[in-house]
Amino acid sequence: MIFLFITNFIYTFIRIFIGFLLLKDLFESKFENKKFFRNILLATLPITLVTAINMLLYFYSNNELIIECVYATIIGTILFIGKKRVIFVVNVFYQISFVMINLFIMYLINIFSSEEGYLFINIASKGRYFFTFLNLIVLVIYYFFIHKFIKDNIIKIENYYKVLATASLAIFLVTAYYQDIYINSITNIVFYQWLLWFIAFIVLMTTFLIYFKYRKINENVNMAIMRNSLLESSYTDMHSIFQDNAMLCHDINKHFMILNKLLETGKFDDARQYLSNLHYLTKKVANFIWTDNEFVDMILNSKLLEAEKLGINININVDKITFSDNNYDLCLILGNLLDNAIEASSQVNDNKWICITILKNNNIMNINISNNYSISPVEKNGKLYTTKLDKRSHGLGLDSVKQLVEKNEGVFNYKYENNIFEANVTLFNFS
């Protein structure tokens, strides 16, 4: 009995511990690595103890499974930055899918041996120890497969948790049904029915992974198209700025020598004029926005040049944006908001202005864009409408922003009063 308990304890500990490691792959930890691993080791022990004791009576227990998922969710929200429902769904999918794999292994053992699987897993037999050992091997393979997929493909799990929730429910219902049949009796027909379901599940998951890959490729293609469009539309102006910057850096010593010579010879007016010309060059370069994110830089600088041509003053306060995921959505949000701001402000006669603030704190990003306007927006039933005649081609910007923000589970709101329009976007888990 003691050896059986130790076996249960080791098996359960590894299973729950791997569950926390998968959460670490999908969510950002609130603690540094050393402290994080200490915390999950401590958090895994109590639930492992309870489950190991329960397994002395029942190898499988739906009630115990629910307790594990709720417990892992509570611990997950303490250790990781993420929404409770998403962490819960990930836990449930991990646990339920592995139960399904366990049941499949049990079916195989029953078909190819003389032992009744539902009997040998509930007693301290050699068959049970072999079954547990085989499950551990499958569990490790299961983890490394998922870990590699997540590592190779940056996944924003918030976009897919509804799919996982639906899959988890389907797996739970089917697994519970076949477990009930299995406890009573099993035949080759039942086994083949289960095998067909298992194959169907593999096909569905493969289809989902292919869809995910397609979506990532499609976003990358759209990002490339957007990038090329920006380069084409503002290539001349941006190339001029880069050229001025290169010339300024290359000739800086020459500029200092000329200024020094002018001052030494008492030509102060010429020196002031020279400094004025030099200041104009440095001002063009200084106005260029650098966020450490190529795509965001392109959007901001392209729109900045467009606004300057229309006589709009731009005030920008932007944090460093060093992430590589979600560039496409972020650029669309920024592009739409800035297009609306430029269009509205360009219609003002005097003192046209746009204020842009983008702040990032950990994985939370806040975008605030305000501008003045002369033509008041038209709002009906909580929705803004364009004042242009071509309503089919215009007025869709804020709707697109709202959809993109909702897709990323963020918050979007706007207000307008005293001829000032302000749009505010908050994005969570943006890494």
Judged by average pLDDT, the poorest of 130-139, 230-239, 275-284 is 230-239
What is the spatial distance between Cα 337 and Cα 339, in angstroms, rounded to a whole number? 6
As a whole number, mean pLDDT of residues 174-188 equals 62
The yes-or-no verdict on residue 392 having pLDDT over 50 is: no
What is the DSSP pairing of strand 313-318 with strand 80-81? unpaired
pLDDT tens track for 393-430: 334 467 778 888 887 778 898 888 888 999 999 887 66
* Helix H or strand E segment including 320: none
Residue 84 has a pLDDT of 84
Residue 276 has a pLDDT of 73
The separation between CA 370 and the C-alpha centre of its own chain, rounded to angstroms, equals 27
Residue 229 has a pLDDT of 62
**157 neighbors 85 (Cβ within 8 angstroms):** no
Q: What angle do CA 216, 326, 40 make, to 5 degrees?
A: 95
As a whole number, mean pLDDT of residues 183-193 equals 61
Judged by average pLDDT, the poorest of 243-247, 313-317, 348-352 is 243-247
Residue 189's pLDDT band (cuts 50, 70, 90): low
As a whole number, mean pLDDT of residues 102-119 equals 66
More confident residue, 376 or 180: 376
The separation between CA 430 and the C-alpha centre of its own chain, rounded to angstroms, equals 6
Beta-bridge partners for 168: none
Instruction: Look at the block and give the residue holding tokens 């979600």.
Output: 326
321 φ, ψ to 5°?
Answer: -120, 95
